[in-house]
Amino acid sequence: MKRTKVIDALKRTDFGAEINVKGWVRSKRGSKGIFFIALNDGSTIKNIQIVGDDANFPEETLKRVTTGACLSVDGKLVESPAAGQASEIQATQIEVLGDCDNTYPLQKKGASWEYLRTVAHLRPRTNTFGAVFRIRHNMAMAIHSYFHQHGYFYFHTPLITASDCEGAGNMFQVTTKNLYDLKKDEQGKIIYSDDFFGEQTSLTVSGQLEGELGATALGAIYTFGPTFRAENSNTPRHLAEFWMIEPEIAFMDQEELMDLEEDFIKYCVRWALDNCRDDLEFLNKMVDKGLIERLEGVLKEDFVRLPYTEGIHILQEAKAQGHKFEFPCEWGDDLASEHERYLVEEHFKKPVIMTDYPRSFKSFYMKQNAATPDGGSIGYKGAVAPGPTMQGTDVLFPSIGEIIGGSVREESYDKLMTEINRRQMDMTHLWWYLDTRRYGSCPHAGFGLGFERLILFVTGMQNIRDVIPFPRTPKNAEF
């Protein structure tokens, strides 16, 4: 008999039909010679109930039906007399496809998140992680759907690179060299001429620079793939390996970029509410009781567009009125998560797009705002800042802080080189990037969205390690 997925079996109303389902036992109980098995195959948060008479099945078979065991069940689809379920299966045959002994780590309910990370190979079988990973899939589909509908091209950028997009140096090296016998020159530097690529290479921290090349040829592209940061950050918001979505668009200005960021986020949230309702309702009940209300709230409100200089003024006023911040918030400081969350959750109570950050802590490729005679700059909608600012557009979200980092890119070769020289950057490996400013340069803009941070917001989970199947963090590369 052909297998029916649980999600499809629960929708059927042709009661009396013979049906086969396969899945894993979530629970088994008995009463007066009747057994009840909750079976789940991962296709939905909901289980299907299998009912049978003990007398109709071999005792040895029923002994093997334990939590975690894998079963194939033939039976008759019938209306269920129990509340909360429309149908169940009266079993006629049970085959144990995979036994599960009493050492199964997921038998007890209420296991901590920390414990479940130690059994990451099994945690997708739990209700919570099944819901999270189904939503993760749907968010990936939403991303591809959005960009395809809007005429963007999916552009594949390299994972192995000789350049550092962010210039921070926090990169994982890629080598085939014998690390116990490294050849070095007279200055003690490693010689890479005999390495696989003939030069020092690393795993990428971003596909943005290559994405800009795509935008200057195809008009509008997006990347969606893994990126790697060798930062020793043990926080609920950081991973060493994570996924990034990075659109780059020719002929786009700052206002249009903010429109894109807001529209894109709302599309993804709407997709989740439309396509993941059962999983969201489960997470709303078991993980974050304000989840659905918060998601729906994002769709109702226009995002605030806030120049950095004005944001600093708001934070300083809050501090003067007694609000305590752990980190400083003077003009020129990079905002900490606590500052971002105050603006979003307490002051505005809705998402914020912060613009026009000081040049001092933003990347070299960002477009600089026009200067004023006193050394300041004119930013978004004419706001005057006391120092040089860049056309950044970062989206700040409740519970998360920064979820998108974007900017208008500097298209002028001379201005870009001035900034590179000011920072004393080595552009040896980025000659190809500079060529885009020499050969038919155009105004363009883009952003980067950390996929896991989007999943954090949409699921209500609190730790980024719990929204990716196998988290990579300092001192942890298990599974």
Q: 158 and 31, same structural domain? A: no
Q: Which residues pair with 35 in a beta bridge?
A: 30, 52
Please report whether residue 118 resides in a domain: no
Q: Which of 32-41, 81-90, 237-246 has the weakest average pLDDT? A: 81-90
State the amino acid at position 200 in one-letter form: Q
Does 87 lie in the same domain as 224?
no
Q: Is the pLDDT of residue 189 over 70?
A: yes
The pLDDT score that the predictor gives to residue 399 is 84
Q: DSSP per residue over 145-175, as a string? A: HHHHHTT-EE-PPPSEESS-SSSS----EE-
391-404: average pLDDT:
93
CATH of the domain at 313: 3.30.930.10
Question: What is the per-residue pLDDT for 254?
Answer: 97
Residue 233: predicted pLDDT: 85
User: At which of 63, 98, 133 does a domain end?
Assistant: 98
Using DSSP's 3-state secondary structure scheme, residue 313 falls into helix
391 neighbors 405 (Cβ within 8 angstroms): no
Q: How far is CA 305 from CA 252, 297, 394, in A?
A: 17, 17, 10
Flag whether pLDDT at 215 surpasses 90: yes
* Residues 60 and 147 reside in one and the same domain: no
Shared domain check, 368 and 302: yes
Long-range contacts of 59-62 (CB under 8 A, 24+ apart): 61/94, 61/96, 62/35, 62/94
- Give 410-455 pLDDT, tens digit per residue: 999 999 999 999 999 988 889 999 999 999 999 999 999 999 999 9
Residue 359 CA to residue 6 CA, distance in Å, equals: 55
At residue 169 the predicted structure's pLDDT band, cuts being 50, 70 and 90, is low
Specify if 186 maps to a domain. no
pLDDT digits (tens, 9 = 90+) for 324-367: 999 999 999 999 999 999 999 999 999 999 999 999 999 999 99
Q: Containing domain of residue 57, as a range? A: 6-98
Instruction: For 308-450, list the strands marked E by DSSP.
Output: 352-358, 370-371, 377-378, 384-385, 389-397, 401-409, 444-450
Pairing of strands 18-31, 48-53: unpaired
Question: Do the beta carbons of residue 221 and residue 252 sit within 8 Å?
Answer: no
Same domain for 161 and 94:
no
Burial letters 431-440, b for 16+ CB under 10 A, else e: eebeebbeee
Residues 58 and 151 in one domain: no
Length of the chain (residues): 479
Tokens found for residue 337? 């998560």
Report, as an integer, the average pLDDT of 284-309.
Answer: 96
**Rounded to an integer, what distance in angstroms lies between the CA atom of residue 86 and that of residue 12?**
9
- Tell me, yes or no, whether 83 and 131 share the same domain: no
Q: Mutual orientation of helices 277-286 and 291-300 as an angle, nearest 10°? A: 120
Q: Distance between CA atoms of 231 and 87, rounded to whole angstroms?
A: 51
Q: Cα separation of 384 and 64, whole Å?
A: 73
Judge whether 475 lies within some domain: no
365 within domain boundaries: yes
Tell me the CATH number at 57. 2.40.50.140
* Residue pLDDT, tens place only, 98-154: 999 999 999 877 789 999 999 999 999 999 999 999 999 999 999 999 999 999 999
Cα–Cα distance, 349 to 392 (Å, whole number): 22
Verify that 360 and 432 share a domain, yes or no: yes
How far is residue 207's CA from residue 450's CA, in Å, rounded to a whole number? 12
CA 387 to chain centre: 34
- Which of 61, 79, 98 terminates a domain? The answer is 98
Checking if the pLDDT of 85 tops 90, the result is no
Predicted confidence band at 167 (pLDDT cuts at 50, 70, 90)?
A: low
- For residues 390 and 319, membership in a common domain is answered with yes
Q: Report the predicted TM-score, pTM, of the whole model to 2 decimal places.
A: 0.94
Mean pLDDT of 49-69: 96
Task: Clarify whether residues 335 and 233 are in a common domain.
Answer: yes
Q: Both 293 and 438 in a single domain?
A: yes
Number of domains in the chain: 2
Asked if residue 131 and residue 26 are part of one domain, the reply reads no
Q: What is the pLDDT of residues 220-279, one digit of tens each?
A: 999 999 999 999 888 888 899 999 999 999 999 999 999 999 999 999 999 999 999 999
In the predicted model, what is the mean pLDDT of residues 189-197? 94
pLDDT at position 73 is: 98
- Do the domain assignments include residue 75? yes
Report if residue 478 sits inside a domain: no
Q: How many CA atoms lie within 13 A of 46 on its CB side?
A: 19
Q: In the sheet that 220-228 helps form, which strands lie side by side, from edge to edge?
A: 153-154, 220-228, 241-250, 444-450, 401-409, 389-397, 352-358, 304-307
> What pLDDT does residue 168 have?
59
| 109, part of any domain | no
Beta carbons of 455 and 135 less than 8 angstroms apart: yes
More confident residue, 217 or 110: 217
d(CA 79, CA 12): 10
Please spell the DSSP secondary structure of 182-248, one letter per residue: --B-TTSPBP-TTSTTSS-EEE-S-SHHHHHHHHHHHSEEEEEEEEE------STT--SEEEEEEEE
**What pLDDT is attached to residue 464?**
96
Q: Is 185 contained in some domain?
A: no
